Amino acid sequence: MGAWHDSAGERQTGGGGEPGVKTRAQGLRLRESTLVAPSAVDLLAYLERKGFNRERVCRAAKIDPAALSGPDARIPGSWKERLWAEAERLTADHDIGLHTAESYNPGALGVAGYVVLSCATAAQVIDRLSRYASLMNDGLRVRVSRQGENTVIVSEAVEGLDNYLERRPREPFEVIAASLTLTLSRLVNRKIAPREITFRHKKPPSISEHTRIFGLEPRFGAPENRIVFRSLDLEASVISADPALLKAFEQRADALTARLERYGPLSRRALSVLREKMKGVVPPLQEVASELAMSSRTVQRALRLEGTTYQKLVDEAQRDLAVSYLKTSGVSASEVAFLLGFSELSAFSRAFKRWTGSAPAKYRTTRPLSM
């Protein structure tokens, strides 16, 4: 019962125009880990509740707010790293990871969060979090095992990446432990207490908040980030369980995981830019390359190395946006065609049928579940 394995490769990357990390031996650039944008949105919302302006926080952390929205948006791990640093600076709260977890929204996990809300039991929640760990953060691996009467969850940073989880582990791994502990109890409407918690990072000056939230004193400087629950406690039923929704959300999560494994990091970033800029016209390669702080030729070469082309990404971005728009009432097929840069409705209709096997009008009547 392990997490999806990440296909870490030594490719050029760059979150927000920043280069990846070079290996000392070969001088190659490691690709940067990515995570779901709602994770950053959730932290920004926490800071807003504390009175800090979202736009100013983004500027200080060198984050593009526009890249945080859109279907299935992902961001470079370095963005979240800078956001954690800025959040700690603004709040002067050294336990900010723990405190954000207390108001944690499962939606911060993207579609995996909706999977979690629809699970039947707490044990199934943990299983799905393990399965979709790379979808939430492809620099994260989660392993789950049964050891006697206990269920053990181990979270670790994927090696071979430019991975902020290795550089700044405290907040993310404390969030994982705290949000899992608190969310499980909320989902089943009764206390599920951990029996043991360990962290690899060093012990902070004060652990009073850790003891308050976990109900026990974690061990620091341990060999692994580990949470242990009594297996019998995890048989508790989730009050929001919905088998039909679970199946639908799992299908979506599986499709996104397949895409994550199919596309390299630059392709995913280019897709994100395309979705944001496709408003009545298909953005030219040069415009997207400029957003990526790269030349058009470099982008084309990198996309070839990742097994795709700019035109294939345009096609996929149009498909995703078309499906999203048609799930929104009040948006006509003609309007969708215009928004996606098609000169004629007939051309859009042919493309949509190629993508989905259905005409736009028929697809709208079936109204697949929005996720």
Give the helix/strand (H/E) hosting 227: strand 225-230
Q: For residue 328, with 0-12 CB atoms within 10 Å meaning exposed, 13-18 middle and 19 or more buried, which class applies? A: exposed
Q: How far apart are CA 143 and CA 127, in angstroms?
A: 9
C-alpha dihedral sign at 296, 297, 300, 303: negative
- The answer to whether 31 and 8 are in contact (CB under 8 A) is yes
- pLDDT tens, residue by residue, 109-148: 888 999 999 999 999 999 999 999 989 999 999 999 999 9
The DSSP letter of residue 5 is: P
User: 26 pLDDT exceeds 70?
Assistant: no
Nearest residue to 86 (alpha-carbon basis) of 168, 19, 15, 201: 168
Among 193, 215, 235, where does a domain finish?
235
Q: Which of 277-286, 305-314, 325-334 has the lowest mean pLDDT?
A: 325-334
- pLDDT tens, residue by residue, 32-82: 888 999 999 999 999 999 999 999 999 999 998 888 876 578 888 999 999
Residue 252 lies in a domain: no
Residue 2 lies in a domain: no
The radius of gyration of the chain from alpha carbons, rounded to an integer in Å, stands at 21
b (16+ CB within 10 A) / e for 268-288? bbbbbbbbbbbeeebbebeeb
User: 366 pLDDT exceeds 80?
Assistant: no
User: 290 pLDDT exceeds 80?
Assistant: yes
Nearest residue to 62 (alpha-carbon basis) of 73, 48, 78, 46: 78
Same domain, 229 and 279: no
Same domain, 206 and 278: no
pLDDT of 359 reads: 87
Residue 247 lies in a domain: no
Q: How far apart are CA 203 and CA 166, in angstroms?
A: 16
Could you tell me which residues are beta bridge partners of residue 144?
A: 153
pLDDT of 174 reads: 98
Among 188, 217, 235, where does a domain finish?
235
pLDDT of 105 reads: 82
Q: How far apart are CA 260 and CA 350, in angstroms?
A: 27
Q: How far apart are CA 93 and CA 210, in angstroms?
A: 13
Residue 254 lies in a domain: no
Higher pLDDT pick, 6 / 170: 170
Single-letter amino acid code for the residue at 327: K
Q: Which of 5-19, 193-207, 213-227 has the lowest mean pLDDT?
A: 5-19
What whole-number percentage of the chain has pLDDT above 90? 59
Same domain, 222 and 295: no
Average pLDDT over residues 210-229: 97
Same domain, 90 and 31: yes
Q: For residue 160, with 0-12 CB atoms within 10 Å meaning exposed, 13-18 middle and 19 or more buried, which class applies? A: middle
pLDDT of 25 reads: 37
Structure tokens at 194: 């951990």
- pLDDT tens, residue by residue, 173-200: 999 999 999 999 999 999 999 999 999 9
Single-letter amino acid code for the residue at 17: G
SS (H, E, C) 17-77: HCCCEECCCCCCEECECEEEHHHHHHHHHHHHHCCCCHHHHHHHCCCCHHHHCCCCCEEEH
Higher pLDDT pick, 263 / 22: 263
The domain that holds 319 is classified in CATH as: 1.10.10.60
Same domain, 95 and 209: yes
Same domain, 310 and 218: no
- The answer to whether 269 and 161 are in contact (CB under 8 A) is no
Same domain, 63 and 198: yes
Same domain, 216 and 153: yes
Residue 82 lies in a domain: yes
User: 153 pLDDT exceeds 80?
Assistant: yes
User: 263 pLDDT exceeds 90?
Assistant: no
pLDDT of 102 reads: 94
The domain that holds 197 is classified in CATH as: 3.90.1520.10
Residue 243 lies in a domain: no
Same domain, 90 and 140: yes
Q: Residues 366, 116, 37, 102: what is their CA dihedral angle, to the nearest 10 degrees?
A: 140
Same domain, 200 and 56: yes
Task: Show the domain range for 320.
Answer: 263-366
Residue 249 lies in a domain: no
Residue 362 lies in a domain: yes
Q: How far is CA 57 from CA 12, 21, 51, 87, 170, in A?
A: 28, 25, 11, 8, 21
Higher pLDDT pick, 106 / 42: 42
Same domain, 267 and 231: no
Query: How many domains in the chain?
Result: 2
Among 193, 218, 235, where does a domain finish?
235
Same domain, 106 and 173: yes
Which span out of 70-79, 81-90, 360-369 was modeled with the highest average pLDDT? 81-90
> Which residue do the tokens 């207390």 mark?
102
